[in-house]
């Protein structure tokens, strides 16, 4: 799964990498993106801009906005069957720009934070879906979710699922191609040899913390018997 990620880049660099326009007055570089926050996405509807949507998808028929916190991720294998994602999969896809993400591994009774990024430290994009939801007063709220798949070899020790990272050459196709057979081929784990993972401080657990210290390697000096380790 993916419950936190970072995207702490200068707006000018984001524009250069994705060939889009970024509103410098509204875009905020963050090291600790969390569910519910308004974050940058590139939609198939406005592929030339970085739009700000709330993380946690709300399908049009949702009765309660709190449902969004259960919809931050969408399993890639069942997008065509799940009512919440089926329509968005066929017509409302997006890229979710990032430069790394977090995962937690449980050792004994404790969970330790890890940061995962490309070895090149370049920006990348998660495959995502978006929706437009209206509340009882007719106010529109734009939301998104990040698609996940089975983990690659790097991620398996941390979690059985990981976000779908699109190779740069497939980003445009993800937005433009509406053939679900073609899209399904893109939903796969990114090459583990091009990624790296390391332990980071537990400060990332609090959304109040949002600075570069969160992505610095951290040694917790955990002394836990392998016999007590829980997957």
- What are 23's two structure tokens? 């509103």
Sequence-ordered strand ranges (E) for the chain: 5-7, 30-33, 38-43, 51-55, 73-75, 93-98, 100-107, 110-118, 124-134, 140-150, 161-163, 165-166, 195-199
Question: How far is the CA of 195 from the CAs of 167, 191, 211, 223, in angstroms?
Answer: 12, 7, 22, 26
- What are 229's two structure tokens? 């380790």
Told to judge if 94 belongs to the known catalytic residues of this protein, a careful annotator would answer no
Closest CA to 102 of 189, 1, 13: 1
Told to judge if 13 belongs to the known catalytic residues of this protein, a careful annotator would answer no
- From the candidates 94, 103, 131, 171, give the one annotated as an active-site residue: 103
Q: Where are the alpha helices (DSSP H) in the chain?
A: 11-18, 83-91, 168-176, 180-186
- From the candidates 2, 94, 131, 171, give the one annotated as an active-site residue: 2
What letter would DSSP give residue 193? G
Residue 24: Cβ within 10 Å count: 12
Sequence-ordered strand ranges (E) for 17-108: 30-33, 38-43, 51-55, 73-75, 93-98, 100-107
Catalytic residues, which ones?
Answer: 2, 103
């Amino acid at each position: 799964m993916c419950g936190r990620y970072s995207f702490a880049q200068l707006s000018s660099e984001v524009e250069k990498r994705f060939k889009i326009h970024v509103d410098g007055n509204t875009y905020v570089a963050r090291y600790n993106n969390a569910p519910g926050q308004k974050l940058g996405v590139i939609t198939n509807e406005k592929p030339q801009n970085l739009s700000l949507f709330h993380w946690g998808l709300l399908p049009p028929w949702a009765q309660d906005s709190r449902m969004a916190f259960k919809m931050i991720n969408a399993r890639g294998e069942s997008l065509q069957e799940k009512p919440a994602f089926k329509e968005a999969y066929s017509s409302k896809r997006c890229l979710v720009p990032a430069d790394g993400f977090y995962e937690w591994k449980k050792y004994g009774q404790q969970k330790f934070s890890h940061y995962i990024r490309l070895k090149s430290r370049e920006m990348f994009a998660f495959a995502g879906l978006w929706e437009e939801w209206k509340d009882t007063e007719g106010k529109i709220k734009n939301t998104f979710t990040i698609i996940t798949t089975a983990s690659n070899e790097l991620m398996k020790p941390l979690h059985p699922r990981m976000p779908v990272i699109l190779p740069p050459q497939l980003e445009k196709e993800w937005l433009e191609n509406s053939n679900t057979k073609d899209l399904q081929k893109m939903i796969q784990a990114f090459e583990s040899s091009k990624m790296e993972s390391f332990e980071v401080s537990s400060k990332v657990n609090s959304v109040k913390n949002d600075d570069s210290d969160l992505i610095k390697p951290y040694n917790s000096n955990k002394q836990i018997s392998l016999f007590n380790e829980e997957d």
